[in-house]
Amino acid sequence: MRHKKSAGEYLAFLSVKYEVDPDKFLAALRQALLEKTAECGQLFVECRGKDKTNCILSIRGNSRFLAQFKVSLDFLLSNDNSLTRFMDTEKVRKLTIRKMNTIHSRFIKDVRSGMTHVNLEAKILHVAEPRRVITRYGNYANVAKALIADETGTISLCLWNEQICSVSAGDTVQIGNARASTFRGEKQLILGTRSVINNAGGKSTILAAPTSP
């Protein structure tokens, strides 16, 4: 008998497939329900209709239709739901493994803003003093920029909260599944829910998604 995916598993699957943070994706779906449309990364979400129990949502990316699905209002509006807890379900785990296996190593000179699945080896040159900031969700967080380098150039690595203590100046690290972006004209790497950082001592840390300001 074929396993029927729950709403949470299906939405978590979509977040992995289209490379968006799972809980930001859920927040965008909720926003679309209330405001008709919403954006999440490169995805455009639209509420196509609803009744007393369900709503129909569609997502597009780069002007291309990607998916349309029905979600119960109870699931979508429950404050107790988080898509990250569905990441260990079989279908989502298999997709994550497939994507991780397609990661290619890059040099810093090749990194461009908007890239995902960035995998590279670099040396930590400097870690700035952490700053206390308020995130877009109203929470306090510590943020610090690390400057990393390889033989081709340098780039900033954005570190949040416990991530700051995971590296030190002088470490040689391997970074997997990072995302590249630009902030105030500066190119930077961001570590997310499925990012991995390995230092020369062999310690591997899977880092939780940062809560960005």
Give the CATH number for residue 151.
2.40.50.140
Neighbours of 170 (CB within 10 A): 10
44 within 8 A of 103, measured Cβ to Cβ: no
Quick check: is 37 in a domain?
yes
Torsion sign across C-alpha atoms 140, 141, 142, 144: negative
Among candidate residues 50, 80, 100, the one where a domain is terminated: 100
Pair 30, 107 in one domain: no
**Predicted local distance difference test score (pLDDT) of residue 187:** 87
Pair 66, 122 in one domain: no
Quick check: is 91 in a domain?
yes
The end-to-end CA distance of the chain, in Å, is 45
Whole-model pTM? 0.50
**Predicted local distance difference test score (pLDDT) of residue 3:** 47
- What single letter denotes the amino acid at residue 205? T
Pair 62, 108 in one domain: no
Pair 20, 42 in one domain: yes
Pair 146, 110 in one domain: yes
DSSP-derived 3-state class of residue 158 = strand
Torsion sign across C-alpha atoms 170, 105, 158, 83: negative
| Domain encompassing residue 56 | 7-100
Neighbours of 174 (CB within 10 A): 15
Among candidate residues 100, 130, 154, the one where a domain is terminated: 100
Neighbours of 69 (CB within 10 A): 15
Q: What single DSSP character describes residue 71?
A: E
**Predicted local distance difference test score (pLDDT) of residue 97:** 67
Number of domains within the chain: 2
Number of C-alpha atoms within 13 angstroms, CB side, residue 130? 15
Among candidate residues 100, 121, 155, the one where a domain is terminated: 100
Tokens of 59: 């997502």
| CB crowding 112-148: b at 16 or more within 10 Å, else e | eeeebbbbbbbbbeebeebeeeeeeeeeebbbbbbbb
**Predicted local distance difference test score (pLDDT) of residue 5:** 67
Pair 50, 82 in one domain: yes
Tokens of 200: 């020369």
Q: What single DSSP character describes residue 31?
A: H
CA distance 118 to 108: 10
**Predicted local distance difference test score (pLDDT) of residue 180:** 87
- Residues of the chain scoring pLDDT < 70: 1-5, 97-105, 137, 193, 200-213
**Predicted local distance difference test score (pLDDT) of residue 211:** 44
Pair 195, 149 in one domain: yes
**Predicted local distance difference test score (pLDDT) of residue 208:** 46
